[in-house]
Amino acid sequence: MTPLEIDPNIARRYREPGAGVFDPALGSRNRWGGIRFLKTPSAALATAILAFGILTAIVGPILRPGDPLRITGEPLIQPFVDWAHPLGTDVLGRDLFSGVLFGARVSLLVGLSVAFISLVVGVLIGAIAGYAGGWIDWVVTRGIEIFQTIPGFVLLVVLVSVLEPSATTVIIGLALISWDAVARLTRAEVINHRSREYVLAAETSGVSGPRILFGEILPNIAPTLIVTASIIVASAILAESALSFLGLGDPNAASWGSMIGSGREQIRSYWFPTVIPGAFIVVTVFALNVLGDALNDFLNPRSNG
Amino acid sequence: MTRLSRRDFGKLLAGTALLGSLPSSSFAASEKPVQGGTLRVVMGLEPATQVEILQNAGGAGVGGRVVEGLVTEGLDLSIQPQLATSWSVSDDGLIYTFKLREGVTWHDGTPFTSADVAHTYSFLKDVHPRRRNTFANLVKIDDSDPHTVVLHFSRPAPALLPALNANSAPIVPKHLYEGTDPRTNPWNAKPIGTGPFVFREWVRGSHTLLERNPNYWAPEQPNLDAIIIRYIPDAVTRLAAFEANEVDIGYSTPVPIGELARFKNNPEFKLDTEGYSLGGGLNQIFFNLRFEPFKKLEVRQAVAHAIDINAYIAKVWQGYAIPSPSAIVPAMKHFHDASIKHYAYDPAEAERLLDQAGYPRGADGTRFTVRFTANPFMSQVIDGANFIRSALAEIGIRAEIALYDHPTYIKKLYTEGAFDLDIQVLANGYDPTDGIQRGYHSGNIKEGLAWSNHAHYSNPEVDRIFDEAAYEPNPEKRRALYVELQQILHRDLPAVNLVQYQPVTVSRAALRDHLIDQQNSSTSYARAWLADGGA
């Protein structure tokens, strides 16, 4: 700590009243916040669903070892009939239960990786642009605008068809179309906070720019970013499913979208190869959206009205 | 239990009586055709051009409805007259003489003569990828008599006639093509022909409209007023179009293969499997012989032993295929060698062969990993790739499927050679020189040429047989040569031949007399009619 650095507690005193910023150091909310959050029924439900999803993704390979794309039974066994295939089989005789378990891993891996990459990249770029201002901000903003004017899904389709379709390609492609929203949001929030008194106080005390940015401003805009992250996870899972549905995902990995894609042709006669993975997508994305809303309500008092 | 009121019962009785009073011959072929009506044909791929003079993609364009060939093939594969009324071949097999139909006019009113045939064939020799081969030794075309065409070959052309139909070698008018580049001639998109229907309009992305030709050379034909060809790329959408009574007929399994059963049990629809013999649809796996591990014969044999062909047919083709262990499909009955059988399904033997070849299972059970490509043209091929991948995993081979769009697929395989295994639907065509030779002749190892010998298979004995059989006029000797060829290919195993798949035509039962030749989606509909006058 440099001798000139201001005590954060002093800086806090300069904060505008009711600014609605998240304060990790505020004891009461921090200690009991988690439990209070879970007392909201929708938040509890969403958290439970997602926890269950993560759990199945982890224990899936133990329950159903081996490649889920292996042909293990007769084609199109109905669900809940044969306990060797509790959710039935698809047109080639692949086990749907193994498929959705493995699909949960793919979806969560893609969703979380994309959210992580776009957060890191988006926050870094947006924060620098917002804090530095001037020509750096101008250049970065134009760059973000270029990405925002390109239709995201079209860019994604082009990317994965030009490159080899694999989980890595899909994650990179999705991160490429997701980071711009994070960057824009971060930039706007940083500009908003940049002129607040706690930042001015820190500046007058001689705290270095990077320290103010990453040590002071970022923790205060974290709630917005956390909410955004949950939305990115949800939309990444949807986009990955859409890609796999179109046959542009990794053909060597089961995924919810590719299961729907291969079951689609039989949908008039056999509902389950499409409906089962479809239900998993709906529930997961729904849970993520509810969680995002609940987090927003919880972390941002102003939106409580 | 259903309760029947007295009134309902009365209705039922009346209905039964009515049914009984219908003449039993009402569905026989001797019915008098109904005039008029519009036939709605559905196609998956919209053609790049409407006349098949530049490519032979099959099922594209206006086909025999607008443009015609010298001959056509009947359902029994016999050669039947079309624009030629009769023909003869010289004893040495070098000179073909065709007598042309008289009184035929082009749709624009110009008379059709031998000069049109001569001009068309002379440019097909240059621009058509397959007729290049057919007409390779065509040295002279004599059209001095307006109703006779004489083709002079420098070497016998035993496979000529099946290549002269409306789809393979359509005759186009000399007065519109002379002095132009046939590749860019604007009439390719609005063809003028001699056929039973006149081209009216082509709305790209939607449909092509044809109308009745009142001056058609065959009296009282055609019966239909118009034909509309709709382009619907998605199989599930086509299925919905059939069920909503928006289309009357579609070819080459127009609906998802698993849904054919719904049509089979519905009296309003008819399924036909005839009319596809000239296509010779064959599904096979090619090995890339340039690289390990498939350089080794034992490894290729192991792959052949790992495939349960009956399960493959049931799961991937839903029963719409028959085993074709040989490179020449059973449909090509003049040449197919029925004594060849699939390598027995025997995973234990496959594992033994792999051990012997020096590829033991690793710690994770995998022997080696290979790149596995699949022709994206048909969804069954992708399903097939998944089936084979699963079968190979059982014997410790990890096959990683790589799926590409069509142009990338062709580039990856035929330019870059970036594959180890390739599941393919390289069709036989109408003759071994047409569809088989290209895949196995070492002279056809050509970088960048699609559907060439991408396995890099090279066997001088095989090359000799192909070269000899192509010009062998004696049918018996020709068969003997191709039988020998099939046995060598079965032994050398540059490809594992799987099945001859059976394309299915789905049509409304009200459509009659549409199935008259081997042209399937290119058929003329000259005699077709709609029993209910069209919907």
| Closest by Cα among B238, B221, B229, B272 to B59 | B229
pLDDT at position B14 over 60: no
Greatest Cα pair distance in chain B:
82
Residue B127 distance to chain A (closest CA, Å)? 31
Reduced to 3 states, what is the DSSP secondary structure of residue A102? helix
- Which of B316, B383, B402 has its CB closest to that of A164? B402
Q: What percent of chain B has pLDDT over 90?
A: 66
A267 touches chain B (CB under 8 A): yes
Closest CB to B401 among A71, A93, A251: A251
Q: What ipTM, to 2 d.p.? A: 0.78
pLDDT at B497 > cutoff 70:
yes
Q: Give residue B23's pLDDT.
A: 40
Tell which of A92, A163, A246, A269 to mutate to test the B interface (max B CBs under 10 Å): A92
Q: What is the pLDDT of residue A5?
A: 52
Residue contact A75–B315, C-beta within 8 A: yes
**What average pLDDT does the segment B165-193 reach?**
91
Would the pLDDT of B283 be above 90?
yes
Distance, in angstroms, between B336 CA and closest chain A CA? 30
Is residue A75 within 8 angstroms of chain B, CB to CB?
yes
Question: Minimal Cα distance from B405: which residue of A?
Answer: A161
Per-residue pLDDT of chain A (305 residues; tens, 9 = 90+): 444 454 555 445 444 444 444 444 444 444 456 677 787 888 899 999 999 989 988 888 888 888 889 998 888 999 999 888 999 999 999 999 999 999 999 999 999 999 999 999 999 999 999 999 899 999 999 999 999 998 988 989 888 878 877 888 899 999 999 999 999 999 999 999 988 999 999 999 999 988 999 888 998 899 889 999 999 999 999 999 999 998 888 888 889 999 999 898 888 889 999 999 999 999 999 999 999 888 888 886 655 43
pLDDT at position A127 is 94
What's residue A8's pLDDT? 54
Over residues B16-65, the pLDDT tens digits come to 444 433 443 344 456 789 999 999 999 988 887 888 877 655 456 788 99
DSSP one-letter code for B451? T
Residue numbers in A near B386 (CB within 8 A): 69, 71, 92, 94
Query: Hey, what are B117's tokens?
Result: 């045939």
Cβ–Cβ under 8 Å, residues B167 and B58? yes
CB A244 within 8 A of CB A255: yes
In angstroms, what separates the C-alpha of A260 from chain B's closest C-alpha? 13
* The pLDDT of residue B314: 94
What CATH number matches the domain at B281-501, 1.10.760.10, 3.40.50.300, 3.10.20.30, 3.10.105.10?
3.10.105.10
Closest-CA distance, B315 to chain A, in angstroms, reads: 5
The answer to whether the beta carbons of residues B65 and B81 sit under 8 Å apart is no
User: Considering the entire predicted model, what is its pTM?
Assistant: 0.81
| Tokens (6 digits) for B187 | 């009439």
Length of chain A in residues, anyone?
305
Answer whether the bond into residue B293 is a cis peptide, omega within 30°. Answer: yes
Question: What pLDDT does A13 receive?
Answer: 45
Q: Is the pLDDT of residue B348 over 90?
A: yes
The yes-or-no verdict on residue B174 having pLDDT over 50 is yes
Domain boundaries in chain B?
6-65+195-276+504-530, 71-177, 281-501
Among residues B353, B344, B349, the alpha carbon closest in space to that of B297 is found at B353
Lowest mean pLDDT of B102-106, B141-145, B375-379, name the range. Answer: B375-379
Residues of A (190-249) whose Cβ lies below 8 Å from B: 247
Average pLDDT, chain B: 89
Cα-based distances in Å from B254 to A6, A60, B218, B249, B521:
75, 38, 31, 9, 11
Query: How far B281 CA sits from the closest chain A CA (Å)?
Result: 22
- CA–CA min distance A57, chain B (Å): 22
Contact criterion met (CB < 8 Å) for B236 and A91: no
A161: its two tokens: 């068809």
Contact A92/B379, CB-based, under 8 Å? no
Residue B222 CB burial class (10 angstroms; 0-12, 13-18, ≥19)? buried
pLDDT of residue B57: 52
Q: What per-residue confidence (pLDDT) applies to B404?
A: 84
- Write the class of the CATH domain B71-177: alpha beta
Which residues of chain B make contact with A70, given a CB cutoff of 8 A? Answer: 390, 393
Which pLDDT does position A63 carry in this prediction?
Answer: 85
The pair of structure tokens assigned to B295 is 């350089």
8 A C-beta contact, residue A96 and residue A88: yes
Mean pLDDT of all residues in B200-212: 94
Domain B6-65+195-276+504-530, what fold? D-Maltodextrin-Binding Protein; domain 2 (3.40.190)
Could you say which of 3.40.1280.10, 1.10.10.60, 1.10.287.130, 1.10.3720.10 is the CATH number of the domain covering A39-62+95-304? 1.10.3720.10
Residue-range domain boundaries for chain A: 39-62+95-304
A141 near B CB under 8 A: no
Residues of B with CB under 8 A from a CB of A: 235-236, 239, 256-259, 261-262, 314-316, 379, 382-383, 385-387, 389-391, 393, 400-405, 408
Residues of B in contact with A266 (CB under 8 A): 256, 258-259
Note the pLDDT of residue B428: 85
Between the two ends of chain B, the Cα-to-Cα distance in Å is 36
Give the pLDDT confidence score for residue A1 in this predicted structure.
40
* Separation of alpha carbons B88 and A173, rounded Å: 64
Model confidence at B335: pLDDT above 70:
yes
Cβ–Cβ of B390/A268 closer than 8 Å?
Answer: no
pLDDT confidence of residue A295: 87
Q: Which of A16-20, B9-13, B33-37, B506-510 has the highest mean pLDDT?
A: B506-510
Specify the pLDDT at position B59: 53
